[in-house]
Chains A and B, each alone.
Chain A
Amino acid sequence: MWTFFHRLASPPHFYELANKIYPWIMVPGLALIAYGTYAGLFVAPVDYQQKDAFRIIYVHVPSAYLSMMAYMTMAISAGIGLIWRMKLAHAVAAAAAPIGAWFTFLALMTGSIWGRPMWGTWWEWGDPRLTSELILLFLYFGYLALRGAIDDQSKADRSSAVLALVGAINIPIIHFSVEWWSSLHQGATLVREGGPAITTDMLYPLLAMIFGFTLFFGAVLLKRVRTEVLARERRSRWVQKMIMPLEGRA
């Protein structure tokens, strides 16, 4: 098993493997999203309280979940990179950040769009869920800005890893904010005592969207990690051989 991980951490091996895995993750991910979108928009029944506005749940919940999942991927990878000095782990952390930032932006935007007809407002500054999710977006921006500001790769890796780890404290705050404080935001729909709060014809499209978004994230992450590996290994022989094979050279 350790041999497998050792091989996986080898940049040329990972670069090759990620390319092979990519379509096997992206295609099922897109298929699940297509099914979830169709069933969420046209098959799931109208909610008795929120009417058709509830259908925003099919993009808001997966994007909010992904915003936190991407951050945890980033923080755990950064931690592994910091402790075991594994370059690939730092590459994963760096690759997860922009994707996480985009999905946090999406969660905030779809939440705001949903809030307008349900709460009568686009935004509520005093709300703990909304504010902590906005802080998450700022943490992503901070992480990306810090990486961009430091030219030395290993220094950028270490500094941004510390920021990612410190910022991880915000994840449980986002998750439990609706329980700890009074919030406009509704409570958990899926993971709650007594099971999900929605019927199966509403639940299955939502689960499909969540799994689909997760696979989509995995596929885009793989693509971005490949690029990180390529950039970090630009002076190595295997990259030079791959980009300019002997027969192509002058």
Chain B
Amino acid sequence: MEALAMGDYGVYVWSSFGLTLAVMIVTVWQARNHQNKIYREIEQRLKAMEEVK
């Protein structure tokens, strides 16, 4: 517990590392989400074009 508390600085250190993890997850999630969204948009447009044909 003492190692985790890091004197009086644990809250600052752990919140910084936690925030970093959150930002990393968000950047990967956003990249994946954006890719899926564009992919689906193109797929729907192509399907609509096929139906018109």
Q: Which residues of A contact B (CB under 8 A)?
A: 33, 37, 41-42, 51-53, 55-56, 58-60, 63, 98-99, 102-103, 105-106, 109-110, 113-114, 116-117, 216, 220, 223-224, 226-227, 230-231, 234, 239-240, 243-244, 249-250
Contacts and interface: CB of A to CB of B under 8 A. Distances in A.
B35 A227 contact: yes
Interface string B1-32: 00100111110110111011001101110111
B42 to A, nearest CB: 5
Interface residues of B, number: 34
B20 A59 contact: yes
Main secondary structure on chain A at its contact with chain B?
helix
B7 to A, nearest CB: 5
Interface of B: 3, 6-10, 12-13, 15-17, 19-20, 23-24, 26-28, 30-32, 34-35, 38-39, 41-43, 45-47, 50-51, 53
> Which secondary structure dominates where chain B touches chain A?
helix
Contacts of B28: 220, 223
Contacts of B35: 223-224, 226-227, 230
Contacts of A234: 38, 41-42, 45
Given A110-B16, A113-B15, A230-B42, 11 more contacts: A59-B17, A60-B16, A103-B23, A106-B19, A106-B23, A223-B35, A224-B31, A226-B35, A227-B31, A231-B38, A243-B39
